[in-house]
Chain A
Amino acid sequence: MRRLLAIVLLLCLVAPARPASQAVVLVVRADSPLQELDSVSVRKLFLGFPVLINGSPLRPLRNHSDSLLDEIFLQQIVAMSQSNYDRQILIGVNRQGWLRPTEYVRLSDLVAALEADPYAVSFMWERDVGHNPKIRVIRVLWSD
């Protein structure tokens, strides 16, 4: 019996771990007036277009904290290559004086900015939301 238990434990240790499923979610401050946002509006928001709620513009915060998230941002949220995204942002500033999304490379800074502004909108790994009561998930943007 002891030998069997040892074998089972050994198998558990050497067996390849199955990764937990991952998801990227759209998030706002818990008391944000934003209740829902369709995918077209999410794309517009992160391309710099004005998206208003109750007459006030939403403020997009781009999560630059890891490279996989960047890839998902380009493929799933704005649906264009980095160079095309870059050009689109320049065109928006040149034609309309649009503001580009504020970029954050540290998750803690992003969370602090999100918690400080009821009109801020960002995206992050679902696991990074955790049980933070100050942040509310609006929708899932991507999952594996």
Chain B
Amino acid sequence: MRISYLLLAWTLLCSPLARGDPWQYELLLMPSAQAVGTFDRQAPVTEIVDEVVQIDTLFTVQRGPFKLFGEYLVSDHEHDLERFQLGWQATQDTVVWIGRYHQPTSVWNHDHHHGQYLQTSISRPFLDEWEDLGGILPQHFTGILVESGHKAFGSWRLRTAIAGGLAPIITPDGLEPFDLLHPDSKHHQVGFQARASLHPGEFTESGFGLLAATDELPAIGLTAPPIPGLDHADLKVLGAFGIYAASNWKVHATWYHVDTQLNSPTASVHGSFGVGYVEAERRLPHELTGFLRWEGSSNAGDDAYLKLFPMFVRQRNVIGLRWDFLSRQALTLQLSDTNTLDGHFSDIRLQWSAAFL
């Protein structure tokens, strides 16, 4: 119902301002199918699902400088409106979004989103894992996102993204974002994110940047919280990232430092941990791409907040090979070796992914 009101308001707003501009649209489908086998399993809990068949649908409806942009994911495990944004292209380099967005301090998710085809590896780094797959950091917010780009230092580009919106809550099943289709904002608090990065040119992915976020995550219905009477958790994230992208090589590194504070009516428990990854990708002959990823953490075993997430990956090594065997279709094989806070497991994954525009 609220979405209907939002759509109506947007239509009324943009109709006079975009008078004379034609309606335009775009539809992108990104299906994928994945099979996973685990072995050498000593961890009591993993985030592994044995097989996943999914289709990620992206749609844009645009009129003049206004657009409606959405991403809907349907799989054999879930279906969700992942992004739903009303956008205004304020200037050539600045766009203002209102709606449900992927928070910009997750560099991986902000670049790849849910479509499997556009990421080289099958799995994403655990620090960027989605909330419903055991992720430790909030990824989906509902509010305002402003993305911008400016010239800086001659031919360099400064890209920025700032955002504020309703953050997820902590439930017995992990983090739970605000659901646009079944809205209930009773418990959700507002979180803020900011990212700034410098790039040596307009068209390159290479660059480096800093990010920061602050969130208050209310705890609802936990039966065994890490501290008695847990009311909410405060997170403060500071991070840095760098990407080097050449014609045959791509290297991507990210590190987050997270300050945590668990609050109950009678006590507060402070903690902090670090988490990050380095991924290297190499394009090979015959449309092959090899990739390696190292994921690591520091001080994770001592942080009370991470005890809320039994699937937390303390350390992981990933190796794989992708074959783009047809235009916009790829097969990927990936091996991982994972240490969680409570154990260890290995897995092998095979994936077909595609994009249809």
A residues contacting B by CB (< 8 A) are 40, 43-44, 47, 50-52, 55-57, 59, 83, 86-87, 89-91, 93-100, 117, 119
The verdict on B357 contacting chain A, using a C-beta distance below 8 Å, is yes
- Interface contact A57-B95, CB-CB below 8 Å: no
In the docked arrangement, what's the CA distance between A19 and B160, Å? Answer: 51
Which B residues are closer than 8 A to A by beta carbons?
Answer: 18, 21-22, 24-26, 28, 30, 58, 60, 62, 64-65, 67, 69, 85, 87, 89, 91-92, 95, 110-113, 115, 117-118, 147, 202-203, 324, 327-328, 355, 357
Total A-B pairs in contact (CB under 8 Å)?
75
A39 to B117, CA, bound (A): 31
Say whether, besides A90-B357, A97-B67, A44 and B202 are in contact (CB < 8 Å).
Answer: yes
**Which of A87, A89, A94 is close to B113, meaning CB atoms less than 8 Å apart?**
A94
A93 touches B202 (CB 8 A): no
Distance in angstroms from B96 CB to nearest chain A CB is: 12
Residue pair A56, B69 in contact (C-beta under 8 Å): no
Can you report 7 residue pairs joining A to B where beta carbons are below 8 Å apart?
A52-B89, A56-B64, A59-B22, A87-B118, A93-B357, A98-B60, A99-B60
| Least CB separation from B94: chain A residue | A50
Cβ-defined contact, B115 with A51, below 8 A = no
Q: Are A94 and B115 in contact, with the CB atoms below 8 A?
A: yes
Q: Which residue from chain A places its CB closest to the CB of B102 in the assembled complex?
A: A95
Which residue of chain B lies nearest to A87 when distances are taken between CB atoms in the complex?
B118
C-alpha spacing A89/B118, complex, angstroms: 11
Interchain nearest-CB distance for A125 vs B (Å): 26
Assuming the A-B contacts A50-B92, A86-B327, A90-B355, are A97 and B26 also in contact, with contact meaning beta carbons closer than 8 angstroms in the complex? yes
* A1 to B42 CA separation, bound complex (whole angstroms): 104
- Contacts A57-B62, A86-B328, A90-B118 aside, 14 further interface pairs with beta carbons under 8 A come to A43-B203, A44-B202, A51-B92, A57-B64, A83-B324, A86-B327, A90-B355, A91-B118, A93-B58, A94-B113, A94-B115, A95-B110, A97-B60, A99-B24
Contact between A47 and B115, CB atoms less than 8 A apart: no
Instruction: Report B333 CB to chain A, min CB distance, Å.
Output: 21
* Contact pick for B65, options A56, A93, A98, CB 8 Å: A56
Q: Enumerate chain B residues within 8 angstroms of A47, measured Cβ to Cβ.
A: 203
A55 and B21 alpha carbons, distance in the complex (Å): 11
- Which residue of the partner chain, among A43, A44, A89, A97, contacts B357 with CB atoms under 8 Å? A89
Q: Which residues of A contact B62 (CB under 8 A)?
A: 57, 97, 99
Known: A50-B89, A86-B328, A90-B357. A97 touches B118 (CB 8 A): no
Asked if A117 and B58 make an inter-chain contact with CB atoms under 8 angstroms apart, the answer reads no
Contacts of A93 in B (CB 8 A): 26, 28, 58, 60, 357
Closest 7 pairs between A and B when the two form their complex, measured CB to CB: A97-B69, A97-B60, A93-B28, A52-B92, A99-B26, A50-B89, A90-B355
Bound: A42/B156 CA distance, A: 19
Q: Is the pair B202, A40 in contact by a Cβ cutoff of 8 Å?
A: yes
A59: chain B residues within 8 A (beta carbon): 22, 24
- Cα of A83 to Cα of B326 in the assembled complex, Å: 11
